[in-house]
A and B are shown apart, each in its own frame.
Chain A
Amino acid sequence: MVLCYSRNKCATVVDREDGSLLVRAGVEDTLFTGAVEMVVRVPDLEIVSVEGEVRRAFHEECREATSLLHEAVGLRIGSGVNKAINDLVGGPKGCPRLADLMLECVDQVILRFTFPRIKEVQSVKEEDRVEATREMLRQNPALLGSCVAFAPGSSLLRDLEIQR
């Protein structure tokens, strides 16, 4: 069976010398090639610049939507940012594909900061890993309820006291 559609998507983060993050997300699929690149200031996670391009699309007019990307400059990565991006860049007057690439960049920023903590937990001996995960939860109570591992009933939360 041959494929009728294929998609490749890649997103990366680079820590820049000034402490800010350079975040890129690109997609190449049967119908579309596009990319978004943003710079995010640390520690307030404000989006200080956004650029993007649509290299290939089903409709020529899709390229017009790249002009909307700059509307996201000034947004901070945190609560409400996904809705703001969808409203400003996606939706009936925008391009959901470009909004999706921006949201991909936002995810990468969050994962960039999650990664060192996970790496630290994974680096301890296997028998100490549950306690290391619980310590990570004590330090980041916002993770509680975010997935099945951190939901009520999880073995990781048994007798765990956390001040929220």
Chain B
Amino acid sequence: MKELRIHGRGGQGSVTAAELIATAAFESGMYAQAFPAFGVERRGAPVQAFVRFSKDKIRLRSQVYEPDYIIVQDSTLIGDVNVFSGMKEWGIAIINTERRIESEVPEGVRLMTLDATRIALDVLGVPITNTALLGAFAAATDVIHLEALERALRHRFSGEMAEKNVKAANLAYNEVRGGTV
């Protein structure tokens, strides 16, 4: 079983991202479970959402404390929240930032950064970064395939909104595949 923890701020679509990844994993033939951290969410406040993936049925219901992967939608969270808490050795951290943040990342974490806000603004016209980060997640891990993610996006959104989100995911996917993790 693999576990993902998504850190974001209220309004950035962290819960939707968790549901989309679980849907994509399910469509790829895996069992998946997605759920939010049940906090007092307000727009802009730190929020978390979780995803578990496994080939077998998942029974565990506690929150994710030792993730294999984290996605951080907003790098300004790093000072406020210990986003790296409990990460497994050589776990992958996918962080949305335009800055160089290597010095803020603990040893033993494989860091992958991208400017998902730029992609979101270019493609969607709003700084909602979740779908771009999902593309990055697909590229950086073997957990979900890009095609399954595209199907999940088209299932969730319709018409032009679906295609724009698919494009954002693809741009992020290619940017990560072009770089190194």
- A and B assemble together: no
Residue ranges of A at the interface with B (Cβ–Cβ < 8 Å): none
